[in-house]
Amino acid sequence: MKGRIAGFFLGLMGMTILPLLAQKASSPYTYKTPSYDGIGKVYMGREISFVMGFEGMSWLERRSREQEESVSLAIKNLPVSESSVVADIGAGSGHYTFKIAPKVPTGKVYAVEIQEKAVNYLNTKSKELGFSNVIPVMGTETSPNLPANSVDLALMVDVYHELEFPVEMLAAIRQSLKPGGKLLLIEYRGEDPEVAIKPLHKMTVKQVEKELTANGFKLVQNGQFMKIQHFLVFEKVGK
């Protein structure tokens, strides 16, 4: 009798544990002991970094940012027209959002954030600045929550390396892009040891291209004009 009961409970455990093990085995992610400033989650050999909270807004709005990061050059080289629909994913304080808005006067800019404080801030600031074409959006860790086939250009400025679910997020971004839509990643140059940024907050072109190619994008422009960052434009492949 005891053997039957033990067998019954072992069977139940198997029914519970085996699907979890199968799910973990099929996951695109692996796990390790977290590094300094990392979360211990690894995608294609790269450990994902911690997300910078909205409390770090002062860093985004520092006076030296233009000189250090060539923001104006990045804005000038955006592949957009006056009627483009742009999604600034991980918009933060809107440092890029509110510089893009005047470039698309008959289009719109979705300012996507996953932090409620940031969305509230973006709503208030867009009203203060009078930008009716800026639309703050509450996203999630796996999706920007944007309409399908609606976006001409999605961009992430020093954001991609922090995505906890890059595969899921890239799939959702692809769905939001129009046919031939583009995704721009601006990331600190991981190849350059003189770029004084924490290692997990930098990326190499090789790593970025490897990850995005695996998720339905192809590199169409590698801009070399920014001081310490990559300007990498990818195009959506297929529908």
Q: Quick check: 96 and 75 in contact, CB under 8 A?
A: yes
Domain membership flag for residue 40: no
Token duo for residue 4: 């039957």
Domain membership flag for residue 42: no
pLDDT for the residue numbered 95: 94
Supply the range of the domain harboring residue 195.
49-236
Can you tell me the distance from the alpha carbon of 183 to that of 197, in angstroms, rounded to the nearest whole number?
A: 23
Can you tell me the distance from the alpha carbon of 127 to that of 131, in angstroms, rounded to the nearest whole number?
A: 6
Token duo for residue 77: 């080289």
For residues 26 and 131, state if they share a domain.
no
pLDDT for the residue numbered 212: 98
Can you tell me the distance from the alpha carbon of 93 to that of 83, in angstroms, rounded to the nearest whole number?
A: 23
First to last CA, the chain: 59
pLDDT for the residue numbered 26: 87
For residues 144 and 53, state if they share a domain.
yes
Q: Which residues contact 140 (CB under 8 A, 6 or more apart)?
A: 114
pLDDT for the residue numbered 13: 44
Q: Token pair 């799939």 is at which residue?
A: 171
Number of domains within the chain = 2
Domain membership flag for residue 213: yes
Angle at 55 between CA 49 and CA 57, to 5 degrees: 90
pLDDT for the residue numbered 19: 44
pLDDT for the residue numbered 25: 60
pTM of the model: 0.87
pLDDT for the residue numbered 63: 78
Can you tell me the distance from the alpha carbon of 35 to that of 40, in angstroms, rounded to the nearest whole number?
A: 7
For residues 97 and 21, state if they share a domain.
no
Q: Quick check: 34 and 40 in contact, CB under 8 A?
A: yes
* Cα separations in angstroms, 113 against 66, 158, 173, 219, 223: 22, 14, 14, 25, 26
Q: Which residues contact 81 (CB under 8 A, 6 or more apart)?
A: 104, 107, 152
Domain membership flag for residue 36: no
What's 74-89 look like in SS3? HHHCCCCCCCCEEEEE
Read off the CATH number of the domain in which 84 is found.
Answer: 3.40.50.150
pLDDT for the residue numbered 6: 47
Token duo for residue 83: 């009627």
Domain membership flag for residue 120: yes
For residues 160 and 104, state if they share a domain.
yes
Can you tell me the distance from the alpha carbon of 164 to that of 29, in angstroms, rounded to the nearest whole number?
A: 10
Tens-binned pLDDT, residue by residue, of the chain (239 aa)? 545 544 444 454 454 444 434 445 689 999 999 999 999 999 999 999 998 766 666 656 677 888 788 899 999 999 999 999 999 999 999 999 999 999 999 999 999 999 999 999 999 999 999 999 999 999 999 999 999 999 999 999 999 999 999 999 999 999 999 999 999 999 999 999 999 999 999 999 999 999 999 999 999 999 999 999 999 999 999 87
